[in-house]
Amino acid sequence: MTDWIRPANLAEALSARAAHGDYMLLAGGTDLMVGASERAAPAGVIDLFGLDELCALGRDDDGRLRLGAGLTYERLLADPLVRAELPALHDASREVGALQIQARGTLGGNLGTCSPVGDTLPVLLALDAEIELRGPSGTRRLPVDAFCLGYRETALADDELIVAVRFPADIGRRSQVWRKVGTRRAQSISKVMLAASTARADDGALRNVRVGLGAIAAQPLRARETEAVLEGRVPDDALADIAAQTVQTDIAPIDDVRSRADYRRAITGRLVRRWVLQLADAQR
Amino acid sequence: MSSASTGTGNSSRSSDSTGIGDSPDRVDGVPKVTGAALYVDDLPAPDAWHGATLRSEIPHGRFVALERDPDFDWSDVVVVTASDIGGRNTVALLIEDQPALVPVGGTIMHREEALALVAAPTRARARAALKALRVTTEALPAVTTLDAAFAADVKLHGSDNVLKQLEIHRDDADIEAVLAGCAHVIDSTYETGAQEQMYIEPQGVLAEWRGDTCRVVGSLQCPYYVHKALVILLGLPEDQVVVTQAVTGGGFGGKEEYPSMIAGHAALLAKAAKRPVKLIYDRAEDIAATTKRHPSRVRHRLGLDTNGQLVAADIDVALDGGAYVTLSPVVLSRAILHASGPYRIPHVRIVGRAMATNTPPHGAFRGFGAPQTTFAYERQMQKAARLLGVDAFALRRQNMLRVGDSTATGQVLSESVGSQEVLDRLEDALAQAAPPVPARLGSLRSPVRRGRGLAFYFHGSGFTGSGEERLAGRVSVACLASGDFEVRSSSTDIGQGMLTIFTQIAAQALDVPASRIKLSEPSTERVPDSGPTVASRTCMIVGKLVERACTALAQRLRDFATESSLDASDLSVLAAQHVAQRGELSETCEHESPPGVQWSDETYTGAAYPVFGWAACLVDVAVDEDTHEVTVERCLHAVDVGRAIHRRIVEGQIEGGTLQALGWALLESVPYEDGRVLNPSMTDCIIPTSADAPDMETLLVEVPYAHGPHGAKGVGEIPMDGPAAAVAGALEDALGIAADELPLLPEVLEHLLADAPLDEAPA
Ligand SMILES: Cc1cc2nc3c(=O)[nH]c(=O)nc-3n(C[C@H](O)[C@H](O)[C@H](O)COP(=O)(O)OP(=O)(O)OC[C@H]3O[C@@H](n4cnc5c(N)ncnc54)[C@H](O)[C@@H]3O)c2cc1C
């Protein structure tokens, strides 16, 4: 029989984790239960779903926004702070699975799986998020791209938990966009995801440009070349075309059963172009 | 005559209301919603073992040897191979070419062929046993495309890989000469892909032997098809095979022929295991192994004169039948019988071929060949309207069939032709409709291109040609001691509402409350063969038999009342009295074709169908300029159903069929590689969700058919036929591309637009 631990608080969860590095960490289970019947049962389960300290939502003393790893999409969607300060995450949450999945699936679970088609990951990349991990030796904070190491591979140690995601204090003042191109309107696996944010200088120049992309490589990634060509520039039609060109070299899409590499490449370019045009319009 | 759709359900009405045309509560509604209904895997069978199927995994080759891993514990496992078959090793349908199990030394024709079966006390044990079977095969070159089938370098069937060829020649004219003389000829080739039925309940059966009798309960559409197949496979007399339908979670044609295969397997396993065996497919196995809609290629040449009058059509239809004949000849027949459309065309030649390939056999799916050819002829009509610069509705009206006209097979349409009515209703509704409200998600907004497409089409109700006559379906109705009436038919409710509709028809004919009507479980030991639940025939053909049997029974009861000086005002009371005094009373009716319905299989002329349903569908699309994602913003669908027995069920049939057609048009792709399905999961084998469903307006048109119950004709399939063409036409309108293939995935549009890019977005 599989051992089942349901910790009452974070301290208990951490000590269970430290004691049983081989136990499965279970949050909403919406990733883990897929294909569960094909796998051997785990030695044990540490059930984190609904743990209060993982469902915190608010501002830290340093002004940064904090979202607990245990927050479900449903909770994120209902929260006015998320809607106001993190509209890209709000929009992304609305398109995860459908209502049932949104009620169970969590931010921490999306990170834990670190799939190339995890919908929040490009958003977290684009919103300059850092991932807070806690283990016996304390807390560490990693930028998303230092946490997501590869295809379904993370920097999480086997005595650590994902505790929270934190965002820059000024994130709500940056312009944010989100676009998911999926196989259908709900219960849809992404073919391409674009999340982006930027601050604007007084002259309209783009500052702190972040472009997060998903489903276009083995892992979600920041389009760093694209960010570089946009940084400090005032958006216009020509810049939009340059960005569209550049982003196609930032990515490494593949042909698979859900889409084709040439399509993914083409629409990533056009969506980036659209975003820059939209920024140029906002300027006028 | 036509009537408006009420749209809203009538939930306050008591479930005892039987009024024809009302929407009483569904007979099967509460048990299904509360979970009380037992599907086959829910049936209690505590001693049952679990079956599993060893598959070939090569598309073409020879089955050389089968060995058991000597290290595996076989003590609680049974293994069945072709040598355990008592009767003939075949899944009997039209012809006996498909084996139930490939024998050692036999030929493997596709990669999901069953080579051996196992059963064990648990599913996990059965699966482990499968892994402990060692198969040796020898690969042969495979044919996995229509082109390769036609090339016939590898011969799978005869010398040319043609499973079946059928032709229609309307007249003796030289079609090439006629086309050469036409002012306009539109010559295009259309291709459509496979489509998965994706019923919510995967296939499965429970088989059990009691003495020498084999009993099978399963998720299936046609108990008597399975019965016939088992009698032949097991080599048993007919009365030693009993087949019963369990509550079934959807079929769409997918449970027409394949259950005969699974039932045969489970029966063989149960015999070997000497106990009941459940053989239930999971989703992956179901998608990989069971039938899909036939992929097709249709070359259509349409000749018109300068006034837009259709003059000639020369149509070549090719279907990918897969590895065995199965139902392909009948699907091909329906495909070609619909291929020239609901139009008056003086010169028509249609040649159809179903080709053999090394893919699992393609089979029945709602529409049954008609959607493929409808896609082609309606795209042709859209192109004709564009070429001539005439109104889409006007071109249809100018050429459509009306009462007194004859079809390509020379069938004179004598009644219930709703062609004019559906176009009128659609055009009226369009004039009144508010513009669609675009719904878009996400904060990155791309501009869209909009377009509109129209499709106009017909669908033959009931079996093709002399099918109904040959079948001679029967229905019985019996009086019970309780004063209830039992309707005995082999029609199955697969979610489409047959239980409710038969209850309405019977209650009306006997003039008793619906609660007095019981429908017998569709089991071959209790019901006569009323024919399969296919071909949009259940309400129109079998429903009519229910009505006739009830009317005859009512007369017998009234006669009894007169003889015995009893009060005849309540037939239910009389029924109880009759059973008490004289024993059981029942009436059986057999199908009689309406006079004048003549068909020749030899010349392919005459009345192809008893009657046709008529429909028109209009679709508005918005195409994202950046991603080519397509949103169907509106879909208006006018369908002539003869008479809606149950309004809400009919509307549900039309909406569901429409969505399935939109899915086929835009989303549903079943890619194969070397004859293997690449996306056998609900995650990747995409069908539309409710979020993908457009705003749909269903317009019920009722042009009654004299020989259907209360004027009803078929409705199950027709909504599947036309919307795909409407969508493709709308995409052509929006993007200026020739959208001649399905599915029109964004990736396909990307490809089509690469040759003809959009101009810069208008401001
Ligand atoms: C029908 C369906 C539709 C879906 N649609 C989408 C979609 O549109 N977009 C999308 O991105 N995903 C989708 N998913 C996947 C899934 O819902 C999401 O990835 C979700 O965020 C997973 O969260 P969970 O809490 O259910 O994770 P779980 O399944 O509980 O866990 C996932 C992984 O994260 C680990 N984990 C969870 N919490 C922690 C923690 N606090 N610390 C360390 N590790 C942790 C687990 O050990 C496990 O490895 C879908 C899934 C299904 C079944």
Return the ∠ at Cα B281 (arms to B279 and B287), rounded to 5°: 150
Distance (Å, rounded) from C-alpha B367 to C-alpha B719?
Answer: 8
Check residues B513 and B1 and name the one with the higher pLDDT: B513
Is the confidence at residue B2, as pLDDT, over 70? no
Q: For the domain with range B1-8+400-467+606-763, which CATH number is right: 3.30.420.10, 1.10.150.120, 3.10.450.30, 3.30.365.10?
A: 3.30.365.10
Residue with tokens 């028109």: B616
User: Looking at residues B583-604, what average pLDDT do you find?
Assistant: 92
Facing residue for B444 by CB, picked from A183, A260, A278: A278
Q: Which residues of B touch A179 (CB under 8 A)?
A: 442-444
Please judge whether A177 and B442 are an interchain contact, meaning their C-beta atoms are less than 8 angstroms apart: yes
**ipTM (interface predicted TM):** 0.96
Say whether residue A30 is in contact with chain B using an 8 A CB cutoff.
no
Atom of ligand 1 nearest to the CA of A33: 29
Query: For B41-58, how does the pLDDT look when each residue is reduced to its tens digit (9 = 90+)?
Result: 999 999 999 999 999 999
Single-letter amino acid, residue B9: G
Distance (Å, rounded) from C-alpha B167 to C-alpha B350?
Answer: 5
The set of residues, in sequence order, having a beta carbon less than 8 Å from that of B420 and lying 6+ positions away, is B397, B400, B402
- Residues B331, B319: contact at Cβ < 8 Å? yes
Q: For the domain with range B473-590, which CATH number is right: 3.40.50.150, 3.40.50.300, 2.40.160.40, 3.30.365.10?
A: 3.30.365.10
Query: For B441-471, how does the pLDDT look when each residue is reduced to its tens digit (9 = 90+)?
Result: 567 889 999 999 999 999 999 998 888 999 9
Query: For A120-133, how does the pLDDT look when each residue is reduced to its tens digit (9 = 90+)?
Result: 999 999 999 999 99
Please judge whether B441 and A94 are an interchain contact, meaning their C-beta atoms are less than 8 angstroms apart: yes
How many Å separate Cα B51 from the centre of its chain? 28
Q: Is A198 helix (H, G, I), strand (E, B) or coil?
A: strand
A119 lines ligand 1 (CB under 6 A): yes
Query: For B365-376, how does the pLDDT look when each residue is reduced to its tens digit (9 = 90+)?
Result: 999 999 999 999
Delimiting residues of CATH 3.30.365.10 domain(s) in chain B: 1-8+400-467+606-763, 473-590
B3 pLDDT tier (thresholds 50, 70, 90): very low
Intra-chain end-to-end CA distance of chain A, in Å: 65
Is the confidence at residue B8, as pLDDT, over 90? no
Q: Largest Cα–Cα distance of chain A, in whole Å?
A: 65
User: What pLDDT does B593 receive?
Assistant: 87
Q: Which residues 130-189 of chain A have a CB within 8 Å of chain B?
A: 176-181, 183-187, 189
What is the distance in A from the centroid of ligand 1 to the CA of A118? Answer: 8
A123 lines ligand 1 (CB under 6 A): no
Atom of ligand 1 nearest to the CA of A100: 1
User: What pLDDT does B1 receive?
Assistant: 35
Which residue lies with its CA nearest to atom 47 of ligand 1?
A: A25
What is the distance in A from the centroid of ligand 1 to the CA of A164? Answer: 15
Of the given ranges (B18-22, B113-117, B725-729), which has the lowest mean pLDDT? B18-22
Q: Which residues 196-235 of chain A have a CB within 8 Å of chain B?
A: none
Atom of ligand 1 nearest to the CA of A118: 11
User: What pLDDT does A283 receive?
Assistant: 74
| pTM greater than 0.90 (yes/no) | yes
Q: Which two tokens stand for residue B756?
A: 């003809």
In Å, what is the CA distance from B538 to each residue of B156, B295, B468, B614, B717?
Answer: 36, 26, 12, 18, 12
Q: Which residues of A touch B691 (CB under 8 A)?
A: 98, 184-186
Q: Is B19 helix (H, G, I), strand (E, B) or coil?
A: coil
User: What pLDDT does B12 receive?
Assistant: 37
User: What pLDDT does B590 receive?
Assistant: 97
Q: Which two tokens stand for residue B435?
A: 């513009």
Query: For B155-179, how does the pLDDT look when each residue is reduced to its tens digit (9 = 90+)?
Result: 999 999 999 999 999 999 999 999 9
B208 pLDDT tier (thresholds 50, 70, 90): very high
The DSSP-derived string for B185-220 is EEEEEEEE-------SSPPEEEEEEETTEEEEEES-
Q: Which two tokens stand for residue B263?
A: 């039932």
- Residues B99, B82: contact at Cβ < 8 Å? yes
Q: Largest Cα–Cα distance of chain B, in whole Å?
A: 87
Distance (Å, rounded) from C-alpha B716 to C-alpha B726?
Answer: 19
User: What pLDDT does B11 receive?
Assistant: 38
A68 lines ligand 1 (CB under 6 A): no
Single-letter amino acid, residue B165: Q
CA-CA-CA-CA torsion sign (B375, B378, B382, B387)? positive
Residue with tokens 């907004």: B445
Single-letter amino acid, residue B535: A
In Å, what is the CA distance from B552 to each residue of B477, B498, B505, B510?
Answer: 9, 21, 13, 9
Please judge whether B444 and A275 are an interchain contact, meaning their C-beta atoms are less than 8 angstroms apart: yes
Q: Which residues 692-711 of chain B have a CB within 8 Å of chain A?
A: 692
Distance (Å, rounded) from C-alpha A278 to C-alpha A272?
Answer: 10
Beta strands in chain A (DSSP E): 3-5, 24-26, 44-47, 57-59, 65-68, 130-135, 138-143, 148-150, 153-154, 161-167, 175-182, 190-200, 206-214, 221-222
Residues in chain B: 763
How far A185 CA sits from the closest chain B CA (Å)?
Answer: 6
Q: What percent of chain B has pLDDT over 90?
A: 93
Distance (Å, rounded) from C-alpha B79 to C-alpha B52?
Answer: 10
A109 lines ligand 1 (CB under 6 A): yes
Q: What percent of chain A has pLDDT over 70?
A: 99
Facing residue for B750 by CB, picked from A94, A258, A266: A266
Is the confidence at residue A284, as pLDDT, over 80? no
Is the confidence at residue B18, as pLDDT, over 70? no
Distance (Å, rounded) from C-alpha A78 to C-alpha A69?
Answer: 16
Residue with tokens 């030991």: B525
- Residues B479, B553: contact at Cβ < 8 Å? yes
